[in-house]
A and B are shown apart, each in its own frame.
Chain A
Amino acid sequence: MATPFTVDIVSPEATLWSGEATFVMARTIEGEIGIYAHHEPLLAALATGAVEVQEADGGRTVYGIHGGFLQVFQNQVTLLTDRAELVEGDAEAARDKAAELKALEDDAAAEDDLTGQTGADQVTGSSDAT
């Protein structure tokens, strides 16, 4: 059995997943990357796509991810994601979820542009502040 290593998936709002894994598959802006134990130290920018984690106890976790960074250092893999969401199902579903997250951000960006154009000096925050 493959040697396990530590994986953390961290988003700005919380640590989403943390534990031991034997294999991680992610999508950087240069292409897909698979990581086993003792991978060389690496820093990569993540693209929009799926991240698959083969857990050390045999389970499998899939996340849809949009943007962020991947760091491999001393058998420790850290994924710093801008947006991520747990997906039930396969990588295909995760890619869809990731695309959704991307669309979400594009919407937000478009909104920013709008407020910028009107030159209003007031910006009201997101509506879910109750």
Chain B
Amino acid sequence: MASAELRIIRRRIKSVKSTMKITRAMELIAASQIAKAQDRVSKSIPYVQQLRNVIRNVAAASGSSDHMLLADDRAGDVGVMVITSDRGLAGAYNTNVIRAAERYIERLDERPRLYVVGKKAQGYFRYRGYDIQRAFLGMTDRPVYGDARQIANIVLDDYARENLRSLLVYYTEFKSALTQDVAQFTLMPVEPPPSEDASEGGTTTAAAYSYEPSPEVILGRLLPRYVEASVFGALLNASASEHAARRRAMKAATENAEELTKILTRTANQARQAEITTEISEIVGGAEALTTR
């Protein structure tokens, strides 16, 4: 009969092995998601880039800054948006963004309006007694443009009502499968892109455009789109980073589990050997006792 010790160790091995199966599956799923998410990030870039180009041209032509989204002297609160995931098991992914955002909030002289994306940020800030203006859930795994539009509509509305005078977004930028960094950008007011590269003829020909209907109307339509597209970009980056972080965390967990089973198996073998030795010595001892009588 197996000793109590041996039974306990075997039970642990079993449990570690089944955990390992789960972490390995999660690792593989995340790995397949990274490529898809990364693809979506790169596909979304042309739109934002073109939009930025157009805004630069129009802003130059219409004398800019009379649109509310370009004005930096609006009334209202400072806003902070934090983009995290709904699920954990992604290493330090969520903690990093949340901490960066919280550090910023602590430095502020006022209480900001807080917008959170993902259950993790919601849980964190609610637990610490922050007022959450709005929480957006269930979109971080695979964000679609409609999600970005939904977020943008709400923050644009708050901005238009002068509840909000600026909005800083904290998210995780996907640089490569190995590097993801916490990044932030000012979503509102929109900073008109600098009219750089005169080589492309941007500055000289900006006024030569004809507009249908007028530059002001076009700008008024462009800027909200730009806000949407920026949110979308941040969501996609965050999602790709989440998958990359999860893959890394799960890979480490799987490796740990492997290591642990190895150690446990060794201990189990030792225990079994010890048991056999005890049994033999008992038998030998018993036989000895009989012959010497």
Contact = CB atoms under 8 A, between A and B. Distances in A.
Interface size range on A against B: 35 or more
B217 A123 contact: no
B198 to A, nearest CB: 14
B123 interface: no
B210 interface: yes
A54 B157 CA distance: 40
Contact of B138 (A10, A108, A125): A125
Contacts, number: 125
A24 B150 CA distance: 32
Given A43-B211, A74-B201, A112-B150, A130 B44 contact: no
A36 interface: no
Interface in B201-243: 201, 205, 208-213, 215, 217-218, 221-222, 225, 228-229, 232
A45 B221 contact: yes
Interface of B: 40, 43-44, 46-47, 50-51, 53-54, 57-58, 132-150, 153-154, 157, 201, 205, 208-213, 215, 217-218, 221-222, 225, 228-229, 232
Interface of A: 8, 10-15, 28-30, 33, 40-45, 68-69, 71, 73-74, 78, 80, 82, 108-109, 112, 116, 121-126, 128-130
4 A-B pairs with the lowest CB-CB distances in the bound complex, closest first: A125-B139, A44-B212, A125-B138, A14-B43
